[in-house]
Amino acid sequence: ADSSASARSGGTSGSMIAAAAFLVLFMLILLGWIGSMGLFLNTLKEPSLRSRTRFLWFAMIFPPPYFFVVMAFFPNAQDSWVGAFPGLFALFCIFYVVYFASKSLATVESARPVTFYDYAGPLFLLWFFPLGVWFVQPGISRLYAKSREPQAGAQRPALQ
């Protein structure tokens, strides 16, 4: 029973499991970074502009296990319409994480409700992951450093 015959017959091969594990690892890192960025930026928004994060958490968690199970154990699942719908939903979840982070970034930077035009740049930069990191992350780092500074009006207690 060689692995190519196993893959053709619908069985699971070691290389398919390894590829699925690598994809899931990459997806966890990417969704973890973008999702944590969105969660952080959401805390910096004015309270009236903050978004609910329940679906964001779901959208960060659903795609990695879905793609692992489908790639590793059901490699032909996308060939049917029934298998394609959960895959499309997983892609929607990934897009939602990118959308949430980019809209949160634009909202924090402008301190007002934003339109698609306002957050389209960060959205496409984050969607094209390797390139976008170099442009988006410095701004996120500045916002993080600014959030860690003591408030100008707050007095530090004197050390005794």
Side chain identity at 8, as an amino acid letter?
R
Question: Once rounded to an integer, what is the mean pLDDT over residues 78-100?
Answer: 82
Give Cβ neighbours of residue 23 (< 8 Å, ≥ 6 apart): 67, 68, 71
What pTM value is reported for the model? Answer: 0.76
pLDDT at 76 over 90: no
Segment 94-143, tens digit of pLDDT: 999 999 999 999 998 888 889 999 888 888 888 887 777 788 888 888 88
Question: Once rounded to an integer, what is the mean pLDDT over residues 49-64?
Answer: 89
Q: What is the C-alpha end-to-end distance of the chain, expressed in Å?
A: 76
Pick from 24, 110, 84: nearest CA to 60 = 24
The pLDDT value recorded for residue 77 is: 63
Biggest distance spanned by C-alpha atoms of the chain = 76
Q: How confident is the model at residue 80 (pLDDT cuts 50, 70, 90)?
A: low
The pLDDT value recorded for residue 156 is: 46
Question: Once rounded to an integer, what is the mean pLDDT over residues 48-70?
Answer: 87
Q: How far is CA 14 from each of CA 1, 31, 79, 100, 117, rounded to the nearest angstrom?
A: 13, 25, 21, 36, 45
